[in-house]
Amino acid sequence: MNRRSEDDRFESGAQEYAAYLETPEGRLREELAFANLQDFLPPSGSSNSLDVLDVGCGTGTAAVRLARLGFHVTQLDSSQAMLNIARSTAERAGVTNGVTTVHGNASQVMDLFGPASFDLVLCHNVLEYVEDPAAVVRGAAHVLRGPSAILSVVVRNQAGEVLKAAIQTGDLVAAEANLNAEWGFESLYGGKVRLFTSAGLRTILKAESLESIAQRGIRVIADHLPARISREAEYERIFELERKLGQRPEFAAVARYTQCLARRAENAA
């Protein structure tokens, strides 16, 4: 996959992506990730405003939530169409004073921002699509402000693809192939998406002197529920069950997505 086709996917498909985030599946992915993150944020109003960088901000929903908590959020995205939606999202929510948008690539973080610039960096569903995930994590580590600063990463989980193939489509050949697959199929845009294991993600973080402080699973069972269960009508119950399952390692291991929250290691220079 080349850089141009990767960017085109999000430029031409921005509205399609925005529509996906309104589905129960899209809402669960975003809202579970934010709930997991909020477990590690200082209570609203308990400290001075923190600076946040949202790498690959998409439609800007995370920025709205953070701005409402009093944080200042810089949104970075390579897609101008996504940034346009993100600006509109902030305007409708009345939080434009707390949000800044920057047009740029995830691999340019070190060029665009100075070292130790942010207290929190989000990198949600970005590493799956970039050419060099380690370089993006390196940039995120570079701009973390100090030992208390947090990096939140969400990636597509390899084990989740195994269950998806076996349970959703009954494709046992694909399920077996996915046991060691580095790439999966991205149904929204119809392209390839990189798959991660928990160990592989931790290795990337460790190379940048980052250590995991928490790991959560996102959409453990929601994608595999029988059709008789309404995702809309039962959304709150599904969300609460997912929160409980995602915090238990045995269930998080097979979730569709893995979220890792990390800080700079204590012995890092």
Lowest-confidence range among 15-19, 232-236, 244-248?
15-19
Choose among 257, 189, 190, 193: nearest CA to 16. 189
| pLDDT band for position 7 (cuts 50, 70, 90) | low
Q: Which residues are registered as beta bridge partners of 122? A: 54, 152
CA 157 to chain CA centroid, Å, is 12
pLDDT value of position 201 = 96
Choose among 195, 161, 191, 155: nearest CA to 176. 161
Query: Which tokens go with 26?
Result: 């899209």
pLDDT tops 90 at residue 191: no
Residue range 108-127: average pLDDT? 96
Q: What are phi and psi of 57, to 5 degrees?
A: -70, -20
Query: What is the distance between the alpha carbons of residues 55 and 104, in angstroms, rounded to a whole number?
Result: 9
Can you give the pTM of this predicted structure? 0.92
- The DSSP secondary structure of 101-135, one letter per residue, reads EEE--GGGHHHHS-TT-BSEEEEES-TTTSS-HHH
Lowest-confidence range among 10-14, 48-52, 85-89, 165-169?
10-14
Query: What is the distance between the alpha carbons of residues 230 and 240, in angstroms, rounded to a whole number?
Result: 15
∠ CA 63-28-67, nearest 5°, is 15
pLDDT value of position 186 = 83
pLDDT tops 60 at residue 192: yes
Residue range 104-108: average pLDDT? 94
| pLDDT band for position 3 (cuts 50, 70, 90) | very low
pLDDT value of position 169 = 87
- What residue type is assigned to position 216 of the chain? R
pLDDT value of position 185 = 86
Percent of the chain at pLDDT above 90? 82
Strand intervals (E) in the chain: 51-55, 72-77, 99-103, 120-124, 150-156, 183-186, 191-194, 210-218, 257-264
pLDDT tens per residue across span 203-225: 999 999 999 999 999 999 999 99
Residue range 3-16: average pLDDT? 69
Residue 256 is classified by DSSP as S
| pLDDT band for position 119 (cuts 50, 70, 90) | very high
pLDDT value of position 2 = 46
Q: Which residues are registered as beta bridge partners of 194? A: 183
pLDDT value of position 4 = 44
Q: 3-156+196-264: which CATH number, 1.10.3720.10, 3.30.70.980, 3.10.129.10, 3.40.50.150?
A: 3.40.50.150
- Computed over every residue of the chain, the mean pLDDT equals 92
Return the domain boundaries, the chain: 3-156+196-264
